Amino acid sequence: MPVVLDVRIVTGTGGGPDKTILNAPRFLAPSGYHNVCAYLHPPNDPGFEPLRERANALGAPLVSITDRGPLDTKVASELLALCRRERVAIWHGHDYKSNVLGLMLRPFWPMRLVTTVHGWVHHTRRTPLYYAIDRLCLPFYERVVCVSEDLHHACRKLGVPENRCLLIENAIDTTQFSRRTGRDEAKRRLGLPAGVFTVGAVGRLSEEKGYELLIRAVDHLIRAGYDVALLIAGEGSQRDKLEALLAELGRGDRIRLLGFQSEVIPLYEAMDLFVLSSLREGLPNVVLEAMALEVAVVATRIAGIPRLIEDGRNGLLVEPGSTAALAEAIARTINDPALRLLLQREGRATVESNHSFAVRMDRFRALYDDLLERQPEPVSP
């Protein structure tokens, strides 16, 4: 059985890519592939334990590799030992460091190289260097998978040949993300009054997510007399700044930062509206999750979002960076229940027809088969 090694560097509790990586093993096993997930993380990072628990729940083999920084040569030697021990056939990188390591180790272990480009969106002091390194690596990979059309275009401009650059958009398990609890009951379980219009967001608390804009938009609506609340699930570097903003606005009772949530489905089920306020993204899984759980969606018009959302049919699109645009779109969904019902129904239908995780992994299976010149194994009914 060919072994695929998914390699990713992660801090804290991870992000959107992990929903794909940790779900892959159970979907690819019937096709005759064994996936192992190798996660590089800082020593004693408390966020790794929730990732380990998630991997165990999904039946994903997860290998922990301590990474002390760029000069830690043990990372490469541990990964090479892992490749030899597992007899890895395909190295699948998911970020700049795993892409560099794949190129470094291939001379010492025969394997095919695949990478997924999830997006260059998280900006820090060091990320321009990291992203530059990543872009240098991509043309040397045998297959480069992009999760959104804009990333596909960017990779082609970097010199990745057309026959090696694939667009495979994000997807989710529509069986797992299927509504089982009504909104009023879901709100009750979270201690929310049934009559409060509940806006939600899920994701890392970082600058590119635009949460300050979303908080100010909801504050504007509250001041205008709307009975609305905002719940934001996630952790990150912007938490202190956002908490200071809530204190300044005096909205701690109506706008809550929930921190990391290991189970997000109950939160989605309580939402009347999901808002993606991001300034930069690829094709975020959280939007697909909300749509699958029949939550109306407002999202910024960025990257792969306009390919997913048709404005006014299965969601509402707004220009990024505008508090006023966010407030106006939220108010529109509050004032028009019929529109909200349409967005809920069509959002679920869109995910079912175009973004099923089973179909996505079928495309990865075909990609792996092609690289290994392997006849696909029959899948049991």
Give the pLDDT confidence of 346-380 residue by residue, as tens digits: 999 999 998 989 989 999 999 999 999 987 655 44
Contact 230, 218 (CB under 8 A): yes
Cβ count near 159 (within 10 Å): 12
- CATH code of the domain in which 101 resides: 3.40.50.2000
Indicate the SS3 state at residue 315.
strand
Q: Is the pLDDT of residue 122 over 60?
A: no
pLDDT digits (tens, 9 = 90+) for 210-255: 999 999 999 999 999 999 999 999 998 899 999 999 999 999 999 9
DSSP letters of 245-266?
Answer: HHHHHT-TTTEEEEE--S--HH
Task: Assess if residue 139 is contained within a domain.
Answer: yes
pLDDT digits (tens, 9 = 90+) for 273-325: 999 999 987 778 899 999 999 999 999 998 889 989 999 999 999 999 999 99
Per-residue confidence (pLDDT) for residue 380, from 0 to 100: 46
* 165 and 233 both lie in a single domain: no
- Report yes or no on 63 lying in a domain: yes
The answer on 318 and 244 residing in a single domain is yes
260 shares its domain with 155: no
Residue 177 inside a domain? The answer is: no
| CA pair distance 110, 27, nearest whole angstrom | 25
- Same domain, yes or no, for 126 and 191? no
The pLDDT of residue 32 is above 90: yes
Residue 381 lies in a domain: no
Q: Is residue 10 scored above 70 in pLDDT? A: yes
User: Do 137 and 244 fall within a single domain?
Assistant: no
| Residue 377 falls inside a structural domain | no
Domain that holds residue 219: 183-354
As a whole number, mean pLDDT of residues 72-87 equals 96
Residue 361 shares a structural domain with residue 349: no
Look at residue 381 in the predicted model and tell me its pLDDT.
44
Residue 219 and residue 255 share a domain: yes
Q: Do 51 and 167 belong to one domain?
A: yes
Q: Please count the other Cβ atoms lying within 10 Å of the Cβ belonging to residue 378.
A: 9
The verdict on 24 and 103 lying in the same domain is yes
Same domain, 265 and 320: yes
**Residues 324 and 198 occupy one common structural domain:** yes
36 assigned to some structural domain: yes
Would you place residue 60 in the very low, low, confident or very high pLDDT band (cuts 50, 70, 90)? very high
Asked if 9 and 41 touch (Cβ cutoff 8 Å), the reply is yes
For residues 348 and 360, state if they share a domain. no
> Binning pLDDT at 50, 70 and 90, where does residue 14 land?
confident
Q: Is the pTM of the predicted complex or chain greater than 0.85?
A: no
Residue 379: inside a domain, yes or no?
no
How many domains are there within the chain? 2
Looking at residue 333, what is its pLDDT?
98
Inter-residue contact 364 to 27 (CB < 8 Å): no
Q: Kindly report the CA angle at 142 between 93 and 127, in degrees rounded to 5?
A: 40
